[in-house]
Amino acid sequence: MLRIFKDSFKITSDNLILSTPPLLFTALILFYTVLAERNVKNIFSEYFVLLVILLMFSVLISGWGYMIKLAVKKQEDNKNNNKNKDAESFKLINEFSTGVGEYFIPCLFYLIGTFVIFIVVIAGVYMFCLKFIGSLGIDFITYLKGIMSFSVLKDIIAEMNKEQFIRFSNWTLVTGIFSMLFALFTMFWPIEIFYKTKNVLKALYYSIINVLTKPQIIILFLFIIASNTIFSMINILALKNIFILFIFTLIYFYFIVYVFVLLFLYYERKIKSNSDSISDSNGKE
């Protein structure tokens, strides 16, 4: 396991070109969002903006995910060959469009599926908390907006009485637990699309099975959650200094790339390799 953490760092450092797509797409989405806010005039315009952002994310995941898969594969195929590694790394950017062409539709359905299932999970949490903890005086839509927007959440808290605020801490705990479970069981969902099947429902099934049959994944998940929490706290502290914020933002982008490389490499060594071994054994029998 420690070897995977170490090798993921090496792959990320040797292939800094992997940070290009998320950096460019983040800048593009921020620019588009600011531009859209000035021109959105009705509900149809809002839905159009959301649709464009959805399509942009699908382009990013399909192209970038394919680049990461190739970077990991090249590392596994050429562990002792370091010749022309910079040139090989740079060539990965040329594979972005190939990934988009091959995986755009499955990734689009993955994003839609993630959103739908998350809404269902949160709806279940809302009804559970309403019945067993008590009302916060808000409807489901307001509760959902509070989860997705910190400014909305602040407004909700500001309008609570003392009793509702006590209940709110319990609501937050339950919501956090179920959100983490959702993240855990869907952690390998997109990776299954790149490795095993473009059928989104089958990929989700395989992701769930991986978590249930490989407890070691929980350690990986907790590492990612803890690391992300630390980086988020550092970024908040860095808000007071623009230069420090810029530096830590770049570091955070590196961390994001590292996490995805880590997941792909873990899958390559611990899940795909085991599946291939089982298949070979069955073939021999």
Average pLDDT over residues 107-136: 94
pLDDT-derived band at 178, boundaries 50, 70, 90 = very high
What letter does residue 137 receive in the DSSP assignment?
Answer: S
pTM tops 0.85:
yes
Average pLDDT over residues 259-272: 93
Query: Quick one: tokens of 22?
Result: 């998320």
**What confidence score (pLDDT) does residue 285 get?**
43
Angle between the 216-237 and 162-185 helix axes, to the nearest 10 degrees? 130
User: Does the pLDDT of residue 157 top 60, yes or no?
Assistant: yes
At which residue do the structure tokens 């590392």 appear?
Answer: 75
- Least Cα distance to 58 among 117, 4, 119, 105 occurs for 105
Please write the tens of the pLDDT for every residue from 53-75.
Answer: 999 999 999 999 999 999 999 88
CA distance 54 to 185: 22
CA distance 244 to 238: 6
**What confidence score (pLDDT) does residue 275 get?**
63
- Whether 223 contacts 258, CB under 8 Å: no
CA distance 32 to 81: 42
Backbone angles phi, psi at 137, to 5 degrees: 80, 20
Alpha helices in 40-161 (DSSP H): 43-77, 85-91, 96-132, 140-148, 150-158
CA distance 3 to 9: 10
- Whether 185 contacts 208, CB under 8 Å: yes
pLDDT-derived band at 281, boundaries 50, 70, 90 = very low
User: Does the pLDDT of residue 203 top 90, yes or no?
Assistant: yes
Q: How many helices (H) and strands (E) does the chain have?
A: 13, 0
- Whether 270 contacts 7, CB under 8 Å: no
Looking at the chain, the whole-number percentage of residues with pLDDT higher than 70 is: 93
Coil, helix or strand at residue 201: helix
